[in-house]
Amino acid sequence: MQLVNRNCVSMLLSALTSSGRRSERWYLATIQSHHILMLKNVGALNDISDADLVSEIAKCETSYDILRLAREITKQHGYDFFSISRLPTGDERYLSNLSIVSNWPPELVSTFDQLGLLDDCSIFEGLRKSTRPLVWNLEDVADVSSGQKGAMIYDLFSTFGLKKGVFFSTHEPSGRRGTISFSGTRDAPTETEMMELSYLSNLLYERVVEIRAPAQAPEQLLSVRERECLVWTSAGKTSAEIAAILELSEHTVNHYLSAACQKLGAVNRAHAVAKSIRSGLLD
C-alpha cells in the first residue's frame, strides 16, 4: 500500500497555519494526488450478505478480523471509510487516542490532531448530546465549526474523500460510550440502511469490546468450591471423600471438578491439577 507522502502533510500544516487560502488548496491538491494511489491498493473480502455478516461478527477473534469485516460492511453499503472509536471525554484532545479500529488515512488523523481540531469539530459535539444516528455532510460541519478551524476541517477531510457520512452511537457494558462511522462521497442512507447499519454497528462494537477485554487469570475463572475440590483432588482424595470433607454430595463434587476442567482446558482431573500447579493456583 502506497502511503501519502509525509512531506506533503508537513507542507499542509505549514500552509494551514501561516499561509493564505490559495497556498492551502495547492498543498491539499498535492496530497490528494498521492492519496488516490493509496485507495487503489486497498483490498476487501468477497461480498457476503447482511444476514451472514451477523454470524461473521460473532466469529471475529482479533482486531484484524474486525478490520476486514468492517471494511466489507463499509464497501457493501457504498462507503469508503469506517472508524470504530471511543467518544471523547472532556479532557481528551487527540483523535488518534480515541481510535480503536479504523481505515481512515493515518495522515488525516495525525494532521487533524496536530491542528487541534477535535474541540472545534461539531460532529463530536453532536454525538455527546444525542445517541441518535448523526448524518453529516462536510459543508454543514465546516459551517457550524468555528472560524478558520471550520475551513481547515473542510479542506482536510475533502482532500481525503470524507465528504459525507453517518455516525452511530454505541456503548460498552460499563456505560462508556463509543461510535462507529461510515463515510465517503455517497448520499445519506435510507431508513432501511440506517437500521441495518445501526444494528451491525452495535454488534461490531460489542465484539470489539469483548476482544479487547483483558483475559481473566485462572484464579479469577475458578469459583471457591472448584478450587477446594482441586486442592483435595491433588491430595489424592476421591469424589466421595471430598464430598464428606466439604459436606457436599458426590454429584456436586463431580460437577465442580468438571467445571474446573472445562475452565482450565484440561482433559481430566489429573490434567486440571497439573495445570493448576503450573499456574500457581495450587502449591
For residue 217, which of 152, 275, 154 has the smallest C-alpha distance? 275
C-alpha–C-alpha distance, residues 69 and 57, integer Å: 7
Which region among 62-71, 79-88, 207-216 has the lowest average model confidence (pLDDT)?
A: 207-216
Per-residue confidence (pLDDT) for residue 2, from 0 to 100: 36
Average predicted confidence (pLDDT) for the chain: 81
Pair 276, 230: CB distance under 8 Å: yes
Residue type for 134, please? L
The CA radius of gyration of the chain, in Å to the nearest whole number, is 26
Cβ atoms < 10 Å from Cβ of 78: 13
Pick the CATH number of 218-278 from 1.10.630.10, 3.90.1150.10, 3.30.1490.20, 1.10.10.10: 1.10.10.10
More confident residue, 90 or 180: 180
User: Cell numbers of 192, please?
Assistant: 432501511
C-alpha–C-alpha distance, residues 9 and 216, integer Å: 42
Task: Give per-residue pLDDT as tens, 220-239.
Answer: 578 889 999 999 999 999 99
pLDDT exceeds cutoff 90 at 43: no
Residue type for 97, please? N
Q: What is the mean pLDDT of residues 126-144?
A: 87
Name the pLDDT band for 5 (thresholds 50, 70, 90): very low
Report the top-level CATH class of 49-212.
alpha beta
- Domain residue limits, the chain: 49-212, 218-278
C-alpha–C-alpha distance, residues 248 and 253, integer Å: 7
Strand partners, 180: 84, 168
Mapped onto helix, strand or coil, the DSSP state of residue 132 is coil
Buried b (16+ CB within 10 A) or exposed e, 255-283: ebbebbbeebebeebeebbebbeeeebbe
Enter the pTM of the model: 0.62
